[in-house]
Every structure is written in structure tokens, then in C-alpha cells.
């Protein structure tokens, strides 16, 4: 009976949404922002990946908000999960897991750093690369549960990266520009050192996301605090 | 291209149904990961590689890892292998 009511409710919702969207004109009014950004981004920002130009230059403040949301979530998770002291007393994983981890760790590290460093050139960036980095540092914990990540170091990296992001953004204020305006020389479009301060910003984002998620994952993997 | 897209959509919807129907929670987490993977392939087909990378890394990788770890921590993982099911939880 309850599932029937749910089904009826869902059917009504779909009907309502169909009527509503059917009455709206599709593609009206035309979005002009995308075209304008595609024309202007290469000259104004100097990042070959226009998505990065939007994420860090035109809408840098949104990224700061995203970072703070992630920070709040990781902090709340850490608060709920408690401090991870002394790792887990599970048995070590089997040979295949341990050997595979040893093989994958450097690969994941290189891929994660590559994605972070080339965020202004190719698809990807600080968030994606940061997740890959967190996975790289979490894998050894799965293979050898007795080991732990140093949470003091992770907090230090996270705090410094977050401070660096805000500091780079605030430096633009000294120049009488808006917060998070790209600084430094734009360089040649498509080269590794280009786009002004965008690679630095993405490096900060990558380190912050990686440290936060690695700390969250290691807390989740550790045993319940018994004391 | 349309057939690839249709196959991916069918796979994604099938995996989404499996999430609801499976009794084994770990298998449901794996199916949810497959949903994210299918969605990320759809993003590639729609030429949004940035979003596809985020979906693959966060949706398929990280969130299913967090869900699986949460299951382990809550002692809800029931592995039907061997006789020591339930002894492995914290």
C-alpha cells in the first residue's frame, strides 16, 4: 500500500514536471556567457583549459566556497569518527594486495600530481587530482592496516594549502584588483608555466583536497576508538 | 555513437535498479559505483571531460570507497566466502 502511494506520488510528480517543462521554451533566451567566455578567456586568463579559467578566474569565489564546504564536511566527519590513534589491528592483506599497492602507489602519485599540475592545460585539476592523491596515500593503509598516516602532517598541509589559496586571492587586493584576480605573467597559451597564478591556485586546491580526503579515509578505515 | 550512448544508458539504469534490488550491501555499493562509471562515460560522450573526470574520481572511486568503509565499520558486510563471516568487523 505504501509503495503504491509512493508510485502514485512519483507519477504525479513526473506528470507535473512534464507539463511544466513542456510549456517552457527550450533554449530561450540563448546563453551568451559561454560564447563570451570562449572568445575572451584565452586573452584575459591565459589558461588553455577554459573550464579552469571559469573555475579559478571568473568564478574563483565559488571555488573558495566549494573548498570551505569540503572542509566543513571533512571536519564534521572527523568529529563524528573520532581521532584515529594507532591504526587498525586487522590482519595484513594478502600478497597480491600488498604487491599491487607497491606497484600502484608511485603510479597514482604521478597521475595525481600530473592532473593537478596540468589543470590549466588539460581536463582535470585540483579536485580530481586531489582525489587521486588521497587514494594513492590511502592504498597502503588497506594493504598494511597497522600503519597510520600522520594526521599532524595532513592537518599542516591542509591548513597551509587553504591559507595559500586565500593569500594568493588576497594578493590581488594589494593591486587594487578584485579578490582572486589572476596575477603574474600569463605566458604563452598552452605551455606548462602559463596562466599566471592559476597553476599555484590549483596546486593549493589539490593539496588541500588530497590531505582532507586522505585524513577522512584513514579515520574511516581505523578501528573504532575503544577508550 | 547513438548505440554506444544507448548501451551506456541501459547499463546505468540496470545498475541503478540493482542498487535497489540487491540484498548484499557490498554488491549494492559496487552497483552504485557502476552507475557513476556509466554517468562519467556519458559525460565523455557529451564532451565534458572535466566533469567526467570528477564523476569518475569522486563518484565511482571515492564515494563507493567511503560507503564500503562505512559498511565495514558498521559491521554490515556479509561475505559468503569461508566460514568466518562476521568475525572480521571491528
Q: Does B53 touch chain A (CB under 8 A)?
A: yes
Residue A158 scores a pLDDT above 60: yes
Please answer yes or no on whether B61 and A131 come within 8 Å at the CB atom: yes
pLDDT of residue A83: 65
Find chain B residues with C-beta within 8 A of A34's C-beta: none
Best A7, A80, A124 residue to mutate vs chain B (most B CBs within 10 Å): A124
Mean pLDDT in residue range A112-121: 89
Name the minimum distance, in Å, from the CA of B44 to any CA of chain A.
Answer: 11
- Summarised one tens digit per residue, pLDDT across range A70-85 is 999 988 988 888 765 5
Best A120, A128, A132, A137 residue to mutate vs chain B (most B CBs within 10 Å): A128
**Max intra-chain CA distance, chain A:** 66
Gap between the Cα atoms of A191 and A198, Å rounded: 13
Picking from A202, A159, A158, A212, the residue whose alpha carbon sits closest to that of residue A180 is A202
ipTM of predicted assembly, 2 dp: 0.77
Q: Does B88 touch chain A (CB under 8 A)?
A: yes
CA angle B82, B61, A223 (to 5 degrees): 55
- Pairwise pLDDT comparison (A133 vs A22), residue with the higher score: A133
Q: Kindly give, in sequence order, each residue whose CB lies less than 8 Å from that of residue A121, ignoring residues fewer than 6 positions away.
A: A47, A48, A49, A190, A192, A194
Picking from B33, B83, B82, the residue whose alpha carbon sits closest to that of residue B59 is B33
Other C-beta atoms closer than 10 Å to the C-beta of B77 total 17
Percent above pLDDT 90 for chain A: 19
Q: Which ranges constitute the DSSP H helices of A118-194?
A: 126-143, 151-174
Predicted TM-score of the model (pTM): 0.81
Q: Residue A123 is nearest to which of B49, B58, B70, comparing CB atoms?
A: B49
Q: Kindly give, in sequence order, each residue whose CB lies less than 8 Å from that of residue A203, ignoring residues fewer than 6 positions away.
A: A116, A117, A126, A161
- Summarised one tens digit per residue, pLDDT across range A7-43 is 999 999 999 999 888 888 877 778 888 888 888 877 7
Please answer yes or no on whether B65 and A135 come within 8 Å at the CB atom: yes
Going from N- to C-terminal start, the domains of chain A cover: 47-75+131-222
Q: Kindly give, in sequence order, each residue whose CB lies less than 8 Å from that of residue A206, ignoring residues fewer than 6 positions away.
A: A112, A113, A115, A116, A119, A125, A126, A127, A129, A130, A133
Q: Is A99 exposed, middle or buried (0-12, 13-18, 19+ CB in 10 A)?
A: exposed
pLDDT of residue B86: 45
Q: Which three cell numbers stand for residue A76?
A: 564534521
Amino acid at each position: 500500500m505504501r509503495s503504491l502511494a509512493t508510485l502514485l506520488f512519483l507519477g504525479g510528480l513526473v506528470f507535473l514536471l512534464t507539463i511544466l517543462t513542456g510549456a517552457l521554451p527550450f533554449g530561450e533566451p540563448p546563453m551568451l556567457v559561454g560564447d563570451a567566455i570562449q572568445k575572451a578567456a584565452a586573452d584575459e586568463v591565459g589558461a588553455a583549459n577554459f573550464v579552469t579559467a571559469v573555475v579559478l578566474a571568473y568564478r574563483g569565489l565559488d571555488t573558495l566556497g566549494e573548498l570551505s564546504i569540503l572542509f566543513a564536511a571533512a571536519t564534521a566527519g572527523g568529529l563524528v569518527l573520532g581521532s584515529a590513534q594507532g591504526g587498525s589491528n586487522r590482519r595484513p592483506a594478502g600478497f597480491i594486495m600488498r604487491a599491487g599497492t607497491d606497484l600502484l602507489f608511485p603510479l597514482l602519485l604521478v597521475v595525481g600530481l600530473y592532473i593537478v599540475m596540468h589543470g590549466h592545460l588539460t581536463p582535470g585539476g585540483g579536485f580530481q587530482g586531489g582525489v587521486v592523491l588521497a587514494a594513492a596515500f590511502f592504498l597502503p593503509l588497506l594493504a598494511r592496516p597497522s600503519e597510520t598516516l600522520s594526521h599532524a602532517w595532513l592537518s599542516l598541509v591542509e591548513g597551509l594549502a587553504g591559507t595559500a589559496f586565500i593569500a594568493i586571492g588576497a594578493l590581488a587586493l594589494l593591486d587594487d584588483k578584485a579578490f582572486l584576480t589572476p596575477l603574474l605573467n600569463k605566458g604563452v597559451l598552452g605551455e606548462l608555466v602559463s596562466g599566471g597564478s592559476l597553476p599555484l591556485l590549483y596546486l593549493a586546491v589539490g593539496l588541500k583536497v588530497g590531505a582532507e580526503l586522505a585524513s577522512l579515509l584513514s579515520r574511516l578505515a581505523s578501528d573504532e576508538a575503544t577508550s | 555513437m547513438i548505440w554506444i550512448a544507448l548501451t551506456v544508458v541501459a547499463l546505468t539504469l540496470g545498475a541503478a535498479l540493482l542498487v535497489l534490488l540487491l540484498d548484499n550491501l557490498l554488491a549494492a555499493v559496487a552497483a552504485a559505483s557502476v552507475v557513476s562509471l556509466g554517468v562519467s562515460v556519458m559525460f565523455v560522450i557529451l564532451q565534458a571531460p572535466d566533469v567526467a573526470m570528477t564523476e569518475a574520481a569522486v563518484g565511482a572511486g571515492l564515494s563507493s570507497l567511503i560507503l564500503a568503509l562505512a559498511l565495514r565499520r558498521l559491521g554490515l558486510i556479509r561475505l559468503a566466502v569461508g566460514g568466518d563471516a562476521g568475525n572480521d568487523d571491528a
